[in-house]
Chains A and B, each alone.
Chain A
């Protein structure tokens, strides 16, 4: 039975934003931990660590997020776990975010002038102190804009979780569309909500980028 697309449908779709936000938050939190580990490994002295981190990044940047989600989804079954879209989506998006954030933060760490590292070493600081009190605070400033930019990509990426049965914004849109068959209105609404989430972040990233570029030239 087809019912008209109305206010209640818009509210239903709006309510699903929280699941998109929750999944994005989990992926970003997990990805921040994983990404830091990858970035540190990528800039480590030990060659095998650098190679390992590079392979991890290549693997996740060179394959579709959709396939990563499928592998997490079906891989859990192989490990004898019950199929759970929440867990599969969180795992796949966390690993995905770890690779991308790892690469972004590697760049930020390497952008800190090498004199800083040499000076810290000359002052007798060990790796931990050198990183936490000299390198990382400076790298963090450099990394803010591209990190916010990646957040946009991650929020958009969570829409693919709908394909493995995770009910978030896009999946709710599909369900509403099946009942109302008003695809332009339904997916236009869904797109508008994504836009409201992503556009402010995009603007923020761009503004920070230009401000940072202006502050660091000359």
Chain B
């Protein structure tokens, strides 16, 4: 019978929590930058010139149909051969931004396309300025439409970010790898690490749901 030994894992809990904080920071940064990429690409895709649309399409399809692990190897091992040296954490952030950007583009595009032209015309007819139309007529309902998809994409991003540990970025999974190589209590370490990921995922879902209730509850038409 195997004797479980959680003592060394709990003794090093602070290390794991530092790793968890890194995972949160890395995911949040990737999401923030990735959203900018997404909005720019979505605008290019909905109203850019044709060659630009093809370029965005190629980017989105290439990223969505290849594994994140291969993308991060491509960037982390490939970039130094053309003279760009990145430390593992920067390479991890870059790979996550590139990855999130592709999924985010599709989500934002769907949001923009969900706004009828008539809405914008109605806004203009009511005497709203261009900025007001963009803010209240396009952005707010578009955001409400895509909000659930964006938040679940964020949680997916956070879980995917565990893969960056393979290029020795210092996230939660890497903290787990480090600890298991010192303690040899492999199963116990990864069980606790998995538990922390689960807590992060559940916690963020709850926070996102609370934000949704607070910000997006105004009466729906129809």
Which chain A residues have a beta carbon within 8 Å of chain B's beta carbons? 58-59, 61-68, 70-71, 74-75, 77-80, 152, 156-157, 159-160, 162-163, 170, 173-174, 177, 181-184, 187-188, 190-191, 194-195, 198-199, 202
**Residue contact A62 to B197, C-beta cutoff 8 Å:** yes
Residues of B within 8 A of A199 (CB): 61, 65
Choose among B61, B160, B186 the residue that contacts A202 (Cβ–Cβ < 8 A): B61
10 contacts between A and B (CB under 8 A): A62-B197, A63-B194, A64-B194, A66-B163, A71-B187, A74-B186, A160-B69, A170-B69, A183-B81, A198-B66
**Residue contact A64 to B197, C-beta cutoff 8 Å:** yes
Residues of A within 8 A of B64 (CB): 152, 202
Bound state CA distance, A77 and B2, in angstroms? 9
The 9 closest A-B pairs by CB, nearest first: A183-B77, A159-B67, A62-B201, A198-B65, A64-B162, A187-B74, A156-B67, A74-B186, A67-B194
Choose among B65, B78, B190 the residue that contacts A194 (Cβ–Cβ < 8 A): B65
**Residue contact B197 to A74, C-beta cutoff 8 Å:** no
Which chain B residues have a beta carbon within 8 Å of chain A's beta carbons? 2, 61-62, 64-71, 73-74, 77-78, 81-82, 155, 159-160, 162-163, 165-166, 173, 186-187, 190-191, 193-194, 197-198, 201-202
Bound state CA distance, A33 and B197, in angstroms? 27
Bound state CA distance, A160 and B70, in angstroms? 10
**Residue contact B2 to A78, C-beta cutoff 8 Å:** yes
**Residue contact A184 to B78, C-beta cutoff 8 Å:** yes
Choose among A71, A191, A202 the residue that contacts B194 (Cβ–Cβ < 8 A): A71
| Identity of the chain B residue whose Cβ is nearest the Cβ of A159 in the assembled complex | B67
**Residue contact B74 to A188, C-beta cutoff 8 Å:** yes
Residues of B within 8 A of A183 (CB): 73-74, 77-78, 81
Residues of A within 8 A of B159 (CB): 62-65
Known contacts A64-B173, A187-B78, A202-B64; is A70 also within 8 Å of B160 by CB? no
| Identity of the chain A residue whose Cβ is nearest the Cβ of B202 in the assembled complex | A62
**Residue contact B73 to A173, C-beta cutoff 8 Å:** yes
Min CB gap B154→A, angstroms? 13
**Residue contact A174 to B73, C-beta cutoff 8 Å:** yes
| Identity of the chain A residue whose Cβ is nearest the Cβ of B152 in the assembled complex | A61
User: What 4 additional pairs, Cβ within 8 angstroms, besides A173-B73, A184-B78, A191-B74?
Assistant: A62-B155, A190-B70, A194-B67, A202-B65
Min CB gap A160→B, angstroms? 6
